[in-house]
Amino acid sequence: MEKSAHNLQMVDLKGQYEKIQEEIDSAVLEVIRSTAFINGPKVRQFQANLEAYLGARHVIPCANGTDALQIALMAIGLQPGDEVIVPAFTYVATAEVIALLQLKPLMVDVDPDTFNVTAEIIEQAITPKTKAIVPVNLFGQSCDMEPIMEVARRHKLWVVEDNAQAIGADYTFQGGQRQKTGTIGHIGCTSFYPSKNLGAYGDGGAIYTNDDELGPRLRTIANHGQVKRYYHDLIGVNSRLDSIQAAILDIKLRYLDEYAEARRTAADYYDKALAGLDQLQVPVRHPRSTHVFHQYTLIVKDGRRDALQAYLQDHGIPTMIYYPVPLYEQVAYKKAMANHFDMLPVTDYLCRSVLSLPIHTEMEEGALKYITDTLIAFFKA
Ligand SMILES: *Cc1c(COP(=O)(O)O)cnc(C)c1O
């Protein structure tokens, strides 16, 4: 079998680093020499720059995206047993923090084109015990947030956006007003896991809000519930972004829009090259959102997903399945959801049919051509 000469990877963190190596190395060295490892000026500087970039009144850096979600849910004063609506087609962290806080994850299906929850799906699931919604901006584009916020207003529900995969994307309201994803719900959460669109060189996360009461409350909870040193008004957690990560992120933030553009250029190439294949559905771009392509995810029709994945692997092309198992079928969540429903048809179908191709900021045209030629050859064979 012919192997690719392209050394293909799902993400190319090394190639990305090499382009900004001087800036990164000197920023990291500066933190080490300052010894201000925790809560140093670099953390405040990154926080201010991220607030400006997002147009958010409050950014609270924290240790990772899962903590961000947990702190967000702690801040809105839910009671054990309250229901939180969450898509079943997402990364486990979204439901995990709900369950950890003794809340009930109310899993719902997603739209088969955008892979995101919609206002209609959410509204049908609401019960008198529902208190919050966690829409996930999956794979790099926004949920259709304007109608979701309308449903939330009508039913007095909190909205916590899981924006771990879509930092930098813009959502456009009916009136033409544009807002960054994660700043539309009451609280937004993001992850700086290295492979995310804004990736640290370790773990990191952030919470954002435009609410002047929630902002300080979130900051207090992330810092042991401490209002001033050694005075604890709330039960909190210890969740910090360290100064080295903040220094790295502050540099990478300057390139975030450029990175999104590079990902979109790769996605455009894939779209065009694969357009003629009826056996695939290329990602559907929602007209209200820009897409920052955290993942480029195909639907492979006719049950041929696993065969295609094996064929690509034989030709040196890595792919990933995000996500192979619906949340309600995970062993840890199965029992809790058992009385609720057997399965959600779209989530079930997507888990059997999706395939994500390599996409990152360093994709070259030769690699894209090799990947798409190989895909076409599979279906023509
Ligand atoms: C990555 C991710 C998280 C969790 O982020 P960590 O920093 O790994 O804790 C949560 N939700 C979604 C959708 C993610 O992709």
| pLDDT at residue 94 greater than cutoff 90 | no
Q: Is residue 362 part of a domain?
A: yes
Per-residue confidence at 3, pLDDT binned at 50, 70, 90?
Answer: low
Q: At 249, which CATH number?
A: 3.40.640.10
**pLDDT the model gives residue 339:** 59
Q: Is residue 301 part of a domain?
A: yes
Q: Which of 96, 136, 165 to mutate to test the pocket of ligand 1 (most atoms within 8 A of CB)?
A: 165
Q: Is 199 in the pocket of ligand 1 (CB under 6 A)?
A: no
**pLDDT the model gives residue 273:** 98
Percentage of the residues of the chain whose pLDDT score is greater than 90: 93
| pLDDT at residue 11 greater than cutoff 90 | yes
Same domain for 69 and 40: yes
Helix axes of 243-254 and 256-274: crossing angle, nearest 10 degrees? 60
Q: Is residue 228 part of a domain?
A: yes
**pLDDT the model gives residue 7:** 83
Same domain for 344 and 244: no
Q: Which two tokens stand for residue 33?
A: 């020499």
Q: Which of 66, 100, 190, 245 to mutate to test the pocket of ligand 1 (most atoms within 8 A of CB)?
A: 66
Instruction: Kindly state the average pLDDT of the residues 91-103.
Output: 93
Instruction: Kindly state the average pLDDT of the residues 57-82.
Output: 97
Q: How far is the CA of 73 from the centre of ligand 1 (A)?
A: 15
Q: Which of 62, 73, 162, 241 to mutate to test the pocket of ligand 1 (most atoms within 8 A of CB)?
A: 162
Residue that terminates a domain, selected from 200, 235, 253: 253
Same domain for 189 and 293: no
Q: Is residue 154 part of a domain?
A: yes
Residue nearest to atom 5 of ligand 1 (CA): 65
Q: Tokens 């995969």 — which residue?
A: 165
229: containing domain: 15-107+117-253
Instruction: Kindly state the average pLDDT of the residues 114-128.
Output: 97
Q: Is 162 in the pocket of ligand 1 (CB under 6 A)?
A: yes
The CA distance from 341 to 145, in Å, is 26
Same domain for 170 and 24: yes
For the CA of 66, the nearest atom of ligand 1: 9
Instruction: Kindly state the average pLDDT of the residues 83-88.
Output: 96
Please tell me the pTM assigned to this model. 0.96
Same domain for 23 and 64: yes
| pLDDT at residue 6 greater than cutoff 80 | no
Same domain for 276 and 179: no
Residue that terminates a domain, selected from 253, 284, 316: 253
Per-residue confidence at 85, pLDDT binned at 50, 70, 90?
Answer: very high
Q: Is 115 in the pocket of ligand 1 (CB under 6 A)?
A: no
**pLDDT the model gives residue 246:** 98
Q: At 302, which CATH number?
A: 3.90.1150.10
Residue nearest to atom 14 of ligand 1 (CA): 164
Per-residue confidence at 17, pLDDT binned at 50, 70, 90?
Answer: very high
Same domain for 243 and 262: no
Q: How far is the CA of 126 from the centre of ligand 1 (A)?
A: 25
For the CA of 191, the nearest atom of ligand 1: 7
Same domain for 203 and 97: yes
Q: How far is the CA of 149 from the centre of ligand 1 (A)?
A: 23
Q: Which two tokens stand for residue 357?
A: 């191709």
**pLDDT the model gives residue 5:** 65
| pLDDT at residue 2 greater than cutoff 60 | no
For 342-354, write each residue's pLDDT tens digit.
Answer: 789 999 999 999 9
| Mean pLDDT of the residues in the chain | 95
Q: Is residue 2 part of a domain?
A: no
For the CA of 204, the nearest atom of ligand 1: 7
Percentage of the residues of the chain whose pLDDT score is greater than 70: 97
Residue that terminates a domain, selected from 220, 253, 286: 253
Same domain for 88 and 31: yes
For the CA of 205, the nearest atom of ligand 1: 7
Domain count, the chain: 2
| pLDDT at residue 4 greater than cutoff 70 | no
Instruction: Kindly state the average pLDDT of the residues 263-272.
Output: 98
Q: Is residue 112 part of a domain?
A: no
| pLDDT at residue 1 greater than cutoff 50 | no
Same domain for 97 and 63: yes
Instruction: Kindly state the average pLDDT of the residues 201-210.
Output: 98
Q: Which of 193, 203, 242 to mutate to test the pocket of ligand 1 (most atoms within 8 A of CB)?
A: 193
For 299-320, write each residue's pLDDT tens digit.
Answer: 999 999 999 999 999 999 999 9
Q: Is residue 343 part of a domain?
A: yes
Same domain for 62 and 196: yes
The CA distance from 232 to 229, in Å, is 8
Same domain for 161 and 98: yes
Instruction: Kindly state the average pLDDT of the residues 35-62.
Output: 97
Q: How far is the CA of 237 from the centre of ligand 1 (A)?
A: 18
Q: Is residue 5 part of a domain?
A: no
For 278-290, write each residue's pLDDT tens digit.
Answer: 999 999 999 999 9
For 224-248, write each residue's pLDDT tens digit.
Answer: 999 889 999 999 999 999 999 999 9
Q: Is 295 in the pocket of ligand 1 (CB under 6 A)?
A: no
Instruction: Kindly state the average pLDDT of the residues 253-267.
Output: 98
**Mind spelling out the 3-state secondary structure of the chain?**
CCCCCCCCCCCCHHHHHHHCHHHHHHHHHHHHHHCCCECCHHHHHHHHHHHHHHCCCEEEEECCHHHHHHHHHHHCCCCCCCEEEEECCCCCHHHHHHHHCCCEEEEECCCCCCCCCCHHHHHHHCCCCEEEECCECHHHECCCHHHHHHHHHHHCCEEEEECCCCCCCEEECCCCCEEECCCCCCEEEEECCCCCCCCCCCCCEEEEECCCCHHHHHHHHHECCEEECCEECCCCCECCCEHHHHHHHHHHHHCHHHHHHHHHHHHHHHHHHHCCCCCEECCCCCCCECECCCCEEEEECCCCHHHHHHHHHHCCCCCECCCCCCHHHCHHHHHHHCCCCCCCHHHHHHHHHEEEECCCCCCCHHHHHHHHHHHHHHHHC
